Structures are given as structure tokens and as C-alpha cells.
Structure 1
Amino acid sequence: MSGRQAAAGGFWRDNSLTLAFGGAFLVVLACQAVAGRAEFNEQLATAGLQQVTFAQYLVSSDFAVDVTENWQSEFLQFFLYIFGTVWLLQRGSPESKELHKAGPESEEEQRMGEHARADSPRWAGTGGWRQTVYSRSLGMVMALLFVLSWLAQSVSGSAAYNAEQLRELSEPIGWAAYLASADFWSRTLQNWQSELLAVAAMAILSVYLRQRGSPESKPVGASHTATGVEG
């Protein structure tokens, strides 16, 4: 095997988790677009209206709101989980830190400042605002992605809602009014509750159940009370 082939194989292996889930995301998104367009055209046909092409559906508010309402709930889940697990604990779960490590931990434990190593990110070893920002950058980016996707959902949801109102010869409403509407909060809360349930279930089930070889599980023979131990 040539060095180039070995390097290519190493790239796919070293990034297989991101590539596999990223590829699966694109496949599922494409399938959602196909199914969503079929459902949307059925609704238009029932109302006696002209059906839309696949390209028209891809740029429609109906497709946008269906996608973004799921994105914002996922990013909210990770934002809450990242920040929540700084302080919140679950005895026996690999999803939790060890019970004596609640809080942001010391600079030595976090390899910050003078405790940074040669291979540590540059901003981990600096002081001031750069270290402060970098030490919270994952949660901050997840929060930003949540806000942006929530905003996109609210705008596209308002457009989709008003398009339906016009098809029914009803009065459209403004964006602010849509934010207070039952349609917006029904879409939003049904996604939030499912994400929170999934996190809670993972935290408690991983106390007693195992998945051999997964870093999301404790080692198969680990005690049920072992906390913060990954397989």
C-alpha cells in the first residue's frame, strides 16, 4: 500500500464518526425532502391548488420550518447538557462527572494557564478574555447555533403559517404575533420534551446497562455505582 493510500485510509478511519453521521444526515435530509414534498402536494391537491416542484419545495417555508424546528431542539439539548453537566451529577452514570468534581474544576485539572501542556490549544495557556472565551467555547457555540436555528424556525414558521392562512382565506399575522401563537409553541415544545426525555433516559439507563466498546458506556464489568467511567 502506498503512502498516499495509507494516508487516505487513515483519514477515513480517523474521521469515521463525523463522516458517517454527516453522510447519514444528508441522506435522511434528502429523504425528508422527498416525503415532505409528497405530503405538501397532497395538502395542495386537497385544497384544489397547484402542486409544487421538488426545487420549489426545497426553498419553501414549509420545508424550512420542518428542518429548523428539529435543529433548534437538538442544539438546545447539547447546550443544556454541556452547561448542566458542569454542576449536575448522576451517581453511577458515565454521562456524569465523578461526584467530587462538580463545578468548573481547577486550572490544574483543566490543563489551563501554567498547567497547559505542549500539545494544549494555544488559548488554553493564555490568560484574560481569550482563555475565558475558549474555556466555554463549546457551550457558547451550541447556544449560538440554538438561537440562530430558533430564529430561522420562527421566521420560516411564520411564513408557512401565513401561507396556510391565505390558502384558507384567513388574515395573516405578524412575526411577533406568531411567536405567541399556539402553532409556534406546539411545534417547539414537542421537540424540546423529546430531547430532554432522551437525555434523562441516557443518564439513568447507562448506570445499569452496558454497550461493549462504546465510550458512552461504562466497561461491561464496572460497578453500577462507578461514576464518570467510560468504556
Structure 2
Amino acid sequence: MNRFFHFLRDNALALFFLLAFLASLVGQAFAGAADYNERQIAGGGESISFIAYVTSSEYAVDVAENWQSEYLQFLLYILVTVWLVQRGSPESKPPGQEGRESDKEQGVGGFADEHSPWFARSRGLAHVLYANSLGLVMGVIFALSWLGQSVAGMAAYNRERLSQLSDPVDWGSYLLAPEFWNRTLQNWQSEMLAVASMVALSIYLRQRGSPESKPVGASHGATGVEG
């Protein structure tokens, strides 16, 4: 029992957001099904079952377009913070420390200790992949989500076109369609604004006890300092 409670304590942050994600996903499914059926009835169509909705392209494209924008946000933030800094933000490295840092600073190769992952002590392709694994995985998830959005979006777009007696389009044509980029960019702009707000507001505002904030007593100019 103690081991179980220790597991919950040690993984509480990830478990909280995982449960919040699942609750949101289920809530979106029910709300989306109700909204879809309302629009179907208002347009003279027939309502569909909940199972039919959650397996439809309409639900898939709504989910995928949010996933791809979130992972794009993380991918860009992981990569640009290697080289770009913001003085005063806990989300940034201090000015003057831009770049990939030395082996000593990163604790790799001969500077790795007995607690370091094996990949940190190795050389060659395995080390290169591990040293960039976070960005690579985020990039792969973004690419797959973006691909899923485009495929599901094309199916939903063509269903609507067929209902209007218009010819369906192929995948390449859909990628150039305003509908696809409207869906995509409306998510991207919100993510970029959220990141910019977090970087800038964390210079002057505080949240006591949060590692995403500087200590309450830290100066506005303190950079890379977490509470």
C-alpha cells in the first residue's frame, strides 16, 4: 500500500493531467455529438449515434487539430530555447549561455557519472539520438497529428461537399484549401500567444511554490531561476 501511495505522490503531476485529458476528451465527445446532431437536424438531416460520432471524421479532425498545435508549441519551444533567451524569464537560460553547451555542462561522455543514462556515456548515433530525443519525439507526434488532421479533415470536408452536390477533392488539393489552413492557423496562433504570454508575464508576475515561476522575492531581471 505504501508503495502505491509513493507511486501516486511521485507521479501526481503526470497522473493529474492525464486524467484531466481523458475527462476533457470524453466531454468533448459528448458535447461534439450533441452539437453535430443539432446542426444535422437544423439542416434537415438525421442525427447519428454517439458511437457513430466518435468514430467519424468530424470528431477525429477536431481532436487531431488540437493535438498537432500543442505538440508544435512544445517542439518549437524546446528547440528555440537552445539558442534564444529572454532576460528575466524563468523559462529561459541566462543571456550568454545560448547554444548546446559543453560536454561538462551537459554531463555527457567523460563527464557522465554512475547515475547518468547509458546513452549519455556512449558515443556515436545512439548518443546523438538520445541527446535530441525530446525534440525528435515531439516532432514525430506533431507530424503524425498533423497528418491525421489532414486526412480526417479531408474526409469531413468531402462529406460536406458531397452533401452540397460538389465534387470531392484529393488530399493534395485539401492541403491547399482555405478550410485546412483556417483550421490549422487558428490553433497555431493561440499556442504562440500562450507561449509568448508565459515567457513575458513570468518576468514580472509570480506564483509562490511553482517551478514555472521565479521565487516571489527574486528580482525581475533574474533569469532561469525557478521557485
- 1:139-218 aligned at under 5 Å gives the runs 139-218=135-214
Question: In structure 1, what residue type is equivalent to 2:209?
Answer: G
> Which residue of the partner structure matches residue 15 of structure 1?
11
Give the Cα–Cα distance (whole angstroms) in 2 for the partners of residues 31 and 212 of structure 1.
31
1:47-106, Cα deviation, whole Å (9 max, x unpaired): 222211000001000000000000000000000000000000000000001112100000
The TM-score normalised by the length of structure 1 is 0.97
Q: CA deviation at 1:168?
A: 1.7
Give the Cα–Cα distance (whole angstroms) in 1 for the partners of residues 207 and 99 of structure 2.
28
Match of 1:90 among 86, 99, 108: 86
Match of 1:6 among 2, 5, 30: 2
Aligned residues: 227
* RMSD (Å), alpha carbons: 0.6
Give the Cα–Cα distance (whole angstroms) in 2 for the partners of residues 135 and 28 of structure 1.
33
Structure 2: gaps of 5 or more residues: none
Q: CA deviation at 1:169?
A: 1.7
Structure 1: gaps of 5 or more residues: none
Other structure's SS at 1:34 match: helix
- 1:53-132 aligned at under 5 Å gives the runs 53-132=49-128
1:119-176, Cα deviation, whole Å (9 max, x unpaired): 1111011011111110000001000100000000000000000011111222111111
> Which residue of the partner structure matches residue 225 of structure 1?
221
Other structure's SS at 1:101 match: coil
> Which residue of the partner structure matches residue 27 of structure 1?
23
Other structure's SS at 2:135 match: helix
Q: Which moved more, 1:48-57 or 1:85-94?
A: 48-57
Give the Cα–Cα distance (whole angstroms) in 2 for the partners of residues 214 and 137 of structure 1.
26
Question: In structure 2, what residue type is equivalent to 1:62?
Answer: E
Other structure's SS at 1:99 match: coil
Give the Cα–Cα distance (whole angstroms) in 1 for the partners of residues 162 and 26 of structure 2.
28
Question: In structure 2, what residue type is equivalent to 1:45?
Answer: I
1:30-58, Cα deviation, whole Å (9 max, x unpaired): 00000100111112112222211000001
Question: In structure 2, what residue type is equivalent to 1:142?
Answer: M
The TM-score normalised by the length of structure 2 is 0.99
Other structure's SS at 1:39 match: helix
Other structure's SS at 1:214 match: coil
Q: CA deviation at 1:180?
A: 0.2
Other structure's SS at 2:103 match: coil
